[in-house]
Structure 1
Amino acid sequence: MSKSVITSWQRLLGLLRLDRRDVLQVFYYAIFAGLVNLSLPLGIQAIINLIQGAEISTSWIILVIVVTGGVAFGGVLQLMQIRIIENIQQKIFTRASFEFTYRFPKIKMSELRDYYPPELANRFFDTMTVQKSLSKLLLDFPSSLLQIIFGLVLLSFYHPFFIIYGLLLLLLIYIVFKFTIQKGMNTSLDESKAKYKVAHWIQEVARSLISFKLSGKTSLAVNKNDYLVSEYLESRESHFRILVIQFIQMIGFKVLVTLGLLLIGGLLVFNQEMNIGQFVAAEIIILLVITSVEKLIRGLETFYDLLTSLEKLGQVVDKDLENQEGERPFTETSDITVELENIVFTVAEGKPILQDISLKIEPQSTTLIVGASGSGKSTLLRIIAGLSEPTQGTIYVNNIALNGINTNHYRSFMGQSLIEESPFEGTIQENITFGDSTISQKDLYWALEKSGLIHFVKEQPKGLNTIIYPEGQQIPYTVAKKIVLARSIVKKPKVLLLKDPLHRFDEIEALQIIKFLTNKSNPWALVVVSQDPKWLGHFERILTMEKGKIVSIN
């Protein structure tokens, strides 16, 4: 079933719908503020008429107080709008952060095949653009639109000819939006894509810092950046041309409206169909209308930025998640048997990585998988772990199809140390327990002892509260491997999947850990992928893989 494509407009409406009550309050305040602002010209008109009498009167003083009070009241309404919009901004940031942190661990791996997840996570920075853009739009667009409507209605009371002119004005606004807004949206998306390419390249240079340092007299980093920035500037220039066209239309519109309404107003005064007070009030209304239209046109760039940022956030939130429903059939005392039946795994339309794999993993069994690089060993582990879905075939867990079992429930009974795993930024304890409060200190120190990590922890002044940097930077490679190994065994899983967990370990220490992992007193079925000969002689069976197939079982 194909995924439905959500348009930028639908995303915007969905965003507004989440805070519908707050958005409606902003609109209500905008209506009142618009009415208050338009009462200013009427008050000035009345004041001018009174001043023409050349006498200070009570009515004049009252009108001055009322008009001044109206200005102050309009300011209070704007302040209330700002408070509500600040609340909306905070909610947007909070929602986006939780959406990203909740979704990333649950996104299907097939959805991330063409993406580099850390680079994809950079889309979160578009949240700030959404905050600022939506704030500006909610403040400016409703008030500007209402001022235009109220202003034109008010002008129509001065003379019927203003009605025709008002309709012409609305037609011009429609033309500006109709024929340029989609082009502006497309060029804004192109600009954003080019911007992220530049950001990703800078991120890559920083990630491969040592390689670029040691590369000698090479200018690849700068040359590629020059190429990507040129693409960005070209995209930005295309977008700017659309903005220039809209700005020219706005200037033409201002000239026509100003000329037309000044001429009409002047003729009406000459023909004594309007007095001076009405003429001044009408011109103030005209200026308010022109200013409001200018705000609308100038706000289009902000509008494009908002829609583009929502599209970028959608690149994460639209991705399919793993099955969060399904059965939860296992308990702490359950034995788990995993059976793979005729498994085939293919990436896109390429050659199958796994072909007709059938395998049964019994409780507390030990299995070593060997084979040349590219034979499909790591992919097989990912299939068993539920990280990748087979293209064909079925995985059964205790005779229940895996796709009918809750994914997190299944993984809670598994431990794994795969090649992709590494420490994240956090304390040693957080890296091992992932914040699981059900893990006792006894089990935690048992995992530290068995993985050989206990000596490193004892050497640290802060012990388990020592901060580990991303990907295990600033600690030895083997310590990082031990952290991941301790993480995989701390819950005493029913199935333990390991990919070269003892790479670069001292031979004596490695043999001690191998004897522990393969000991039959452990609760797990052990599956190890490794070419290290130290593992040989410790397993019940050894599977040899070649070109995606199991070619022998010893």
Structure 2
Amino acid sequence: MAKKTNSSIKRLTGLLKLDRKDILQIIYYAIFAGLLNMAVPLGIQAIVNLIQGGRVSTSWIILVILVTAAVGLVGLLEIMQIRIVENIQQKIFTRSSFEFTYRFPRIKMNEFKNVYPPELANRFFDTLTVQKGISKILLDLPAAVLQIFFGLILLSLYHPFFIIYGLLLVALIYFVFKFTAMRGLETSLDESKHKYKVAHWLQEVARSLLSFKISGSTSLAMDKNDRLTDKYLGARENHFQILKIQFIKLVVFKVLVTGGLLAIGGMLVLNQEMNIGQFVAAEIIILLILASVERLIKGLEVIYDTLTSLEKMGQLVDKELEKEEGRNRLDDKGPLNLEINDVGYRVDSKTILSDISFDLAAGEKVLLKGPNGSGRTSLLKLVGGINEISQGNIYINNVSINGLKLNEYRKRLGIFLAEEFPFEGTLLENITFGDPNVPERDVYWAIEHAGLSQFVKEQPEGIHTEILPEGKYLSTLIGKRILLARAIAKKPDILILKEPLEMFEQEEANRMLEFFTDPAHKWSILVASQNPVWEKVCNKIIRLEKRGDKHKF
């Protein structure tokens, strides 16, 4: 937990460094405002002394104008600070949205092991907490610290006794931070963890709505939510206890200081060591300092929430990305020849594939056969550059896949995997991913050969029809046709297919097979299928046995 605490503080420091020029400007304004705030009690002191004279004077009028102007100028400085903070908040949101969007497609697939990516995307909402927290931290905390600092200096000029008061105040702040601040952050992180577990379960119930509907009158959803909510409430109560301790210390200190200063200040006036004006000014300064201390301690909760949110966002940011700086480039127009050399793949200590070797020359068609669990899908993903190989190598035109820019390689591939779904966007976006290099005529060509022409004609918006997430309210067949159109639209050099004919009736399956294997198409094919029709049209057949530990040609 201590490691997470340090990590959270480093994240906050890194975030603030991005806008250090703006933050320095806020601090400069805060210093100026703090000095002006201290001028107010001094002005009031002088006004009180003049009022004691019992007559209106020019000096009194000028002081009233100056004090009023100082208050107005402080307000103007605060408005300028708010404007700067708003700019910082907007930049935080913008950076966060682009950071999440950039990272998700580039995170290594093994980083998503035991993680549900949509639930991880919910961490983006912590950006809003960070925005609000940064606003409080930048506006309230510097102002409070400077107010305390200037106030203590000013008080020490009135009487040496106030130096003791200043030392007690510094000691209080030190003990609050020393003994409760880190513990407060730990309990805040624990609270957030349980909060996300509740949110994830609600998301899971919503995702599996049909399953829960047909389950009858079972109480699983409520029972599990009860357990998760109970744990969250326990964690929140632990966090509240830390906050309560901090507030108790604050209240005790305020009571003691207020009573002590009123009594001692009164004695100093009676002993003529202070005049009435100084006494009034000192009490105003003390009230300002107490308000600043209260703001500082209450601000700890905002700091906890901000640090916790940064840590939660870090669960995505910390995940390792695929490398993008390959040293070798592929010829954009030349054919692709693949060599799979002694390739193995493991997940943790479990071997999925071992010692797999074969070639896929340009224009060749290779079939992967084997029972479920033999590693066929894993092999397709390795060849597609989706997963990382654990041993051996894959060569593309005699260049190791590890030395290539993966996205340059992937754009030469057309991949159809059964576990894919359409995403929220137009039909055109689902097919081309916004690639301007795919002309519209190729889109309609892909739509025709994927069997989507009738569907597109029936839509008022045509290829600009909006598709819901995961192809919601589309038939499974239409969803798979969209994915097939996506795979062939850019006329790839290699087609990587998993059971592409499985969902079609026999007549259409034969038509699709004929289309895939038409010599007019220059692509190579690597297909994983149990359908025997592929054996008749493929140049090679790779048979994988259970767990992928053996192979034969």
Using the size of structure 2 for normalisation, the TM-score is 0.97
Partner Cα separation in structure 2 for residue 454 and residue 319 of structure 1: 41
SS of aligned partner of 1:521: coil
Partner Cα separation in structure 1 for residue 114 and residue 359 of structure 2: 32
Residue 279 (structure 2) aligns with: 279
Amino acid aligned to 2:45: Q
CA contact (8 A) 1:34 1:146 kept: yes
Residue 267 (structure 1) aligns with: 267
Is 1:540 the counterpart of 2:539? The answer is yes
Deviation at 1:39, TM superposition (A): 1.2
Deviation at 1:526, TM superposition (A): 0.3
Residue 292 (structure 1) aligns with: 292
Question: Alpha-carbon deviations, 1:170-221, whole Å to 9, x = none?
Answer: 1110110011111111100000000000000000000000000111110111
Question: Alpha-carbon deviations, 1:137-172, whole Å to 9, x = none?
Answer: 111100000000000000011012211221221111
Amino acid aligned to 1:360: D
Residue 103 (structure 1) aligns with: 103
Deviation at 1:539, TM superposition (A): 1.5
Residue 8 (structure 1) aligns with: 8
Residue 414 (structure 2) aligns with: 415
Deviation at 1:454, TM superposition (A): 1.7
Deviation at 1:311, TM superposition (A): 0.4
CA contact (8 A) 2:356 2:551 kept: no
Deviation at 1:21, TM superposition (A): 1.2
Residue 489 (structure 1) aligns with: 488
Partner Cα separation in structure 2 for residue 476 and residue 331 of structure 1: 39
- Greater displacement, 414-423 / 11-20: 414-423
CA contact (8 A) 2:265 2:279 kept: yes
Partner Cα separation in structure 2 for residue 553 and residue 511 of structure 1: 27
Deviation at 1:295, TM superposition (A): 0.3
SS of aligned partner of 1:356: strand
Residue 180 (structure 1) aligns with: 180
Amino acid aligned to 1:454: S
- Greater displacement, 464-473 / 443-452: 443-452
Partner Cα separation in structure 1 for residue 299 and residue 527 of structure 2: 59
Partner Cα separation in structure 1 for residue 248 and residue 283 of structure 2: 23
Residue 167 (structure 1) aligns with: 167
- Structure 1: where are the runs of 5+ without partners? none
Please, what is the CA RMSD of the aligned residues?
1.5
Partner Cα separation in structure 2 for residue 177 and residue 154 of structure 1: 25
CA contact (8 A) 2:413 2:493 kept: yes
CA contact (8 A) 1:336 1:397 kept: yes
- Greater displacement, 257-266 / 230-239: 257-266
CA contact (8 A) 1:541 1:553 kept: no
SS of aligned partner of 1:345: strand
CA contact (8 A) 2:5 2:185 kept: no
- Greater displacement, 235-244 / 535-544: 535-544
Amino acid aligned to 2:268: L
Amino acid aligned to 1:144: A
**Map of 1:113-512 to 2, 5 A cutoff?**
113-349=113-349, 351-512=350-511
Partner Cα separation in structure 2 for residue 150 and residue 182 of structure 1: 27
Amino acid aligned to 1:218: T
- Greater displacement, 91-100 / 107-116: 107-116
Partner Cα separation in structure 1 for residue 533 and residue 392 of structure 2: 33
- Greater displacement, 404-413 / 116-125: 404-413
Partner Cα separation in structure 2 for residue 165 and residue 233 of structure 1: 39
Tell me: CA distance 1:359–1:6, structure 2 relative to 1, closer, same or farther (3 Å). Answer: farther
Amino acid aligned to 1:254: K
CA contact (8 A) 2:352 2:547 kept: yes
Partner Cα separation in structure 1 for residue 265 and residue 341 of structure 2: 86
Partner Cα separation in structure 2 for residue 152 and residue 477 of structure 1: 72
Partner Cα separation in structure 2 for residue 122 and residue 149 of structure 1: 41
CA contact (8 A) 1:341 1:359 kept: yes
Residue 518 (structure 1) aligns with: 517
Amino acid aligned to 2:435: D
CA contact (8 A) 2:4 2:311 kept: no
Partner Cα separation in structure 2 for residue 182 and residue 133 of structure 1: 17
Tell me: CA distance 1:257–1:200, structure 2 relative to 1, closer, same or farther (3 Å). Answer: same
Deviation at 1:553, TM superposition (A): 4.6
Amino acid aligned to 1:378: T
- Greater displacement, 234-243 / 36-45: 36-45
SS of aligned partner of 1:537: helix
SS of aligned partner of 1:346: strand
Partner Cα separation in structure 2 for residue 403 and residue 159 of structure 1: 73
Question: Alpha-carbon deviations, 1:452-471, whole Å to 9, x = none?
Answer: 11221112111000001111
CA contact (8 A) 2:5 2:182 kept: no
Deviation at 1:386, TM superposition (A): 1.1
CA contact (8 A) 2:355 2:550 kept: no
Tell me: CA distance 1:321–1:6, structure 2 relative to 1, closer, same or farther (3 Å). Answer: farther
Partner Cα separation in structure 1 for residue 339 and residue 264 of structure 2: 86
CA contact (8 A) 1:448 1:486 kept: yes
Deviation at 1:118, TM superposition (A): 0.4
Partner Cα separation in structure 1 for residue 198 and residue 301 of structure 2: 21
SS of aligned partner of 1:382: helix
Partner Cα separation in structure 2 for residue 332 and residue 157 of structure 1: 78
Question: Alpha-carbon deviations, 1:1-58, whole Å to 9, x = none?
Answer: xx99971111111111111111111111111111111211111111100000000011
User: How many correspondences in the alignment?
Assistant: 551
Partner Cα separation in structure 2 for residue 324 and residue 355 of structure 1: 27
SS of aligned partner of 2:13: helix
Residue 33 (structure 2) aligns with: 33
Partner Cα separation in structure 1 for residue 133 and residue 114 of structure 2: 30
SS of aligned partner of 1:369: strand
Tell me: CA distance 1:544–1:411, structure 2 relative to 1, closer, same or farther (3 Å). Answer: same
Deviation at 1:260, TM superposition (A): 2.8
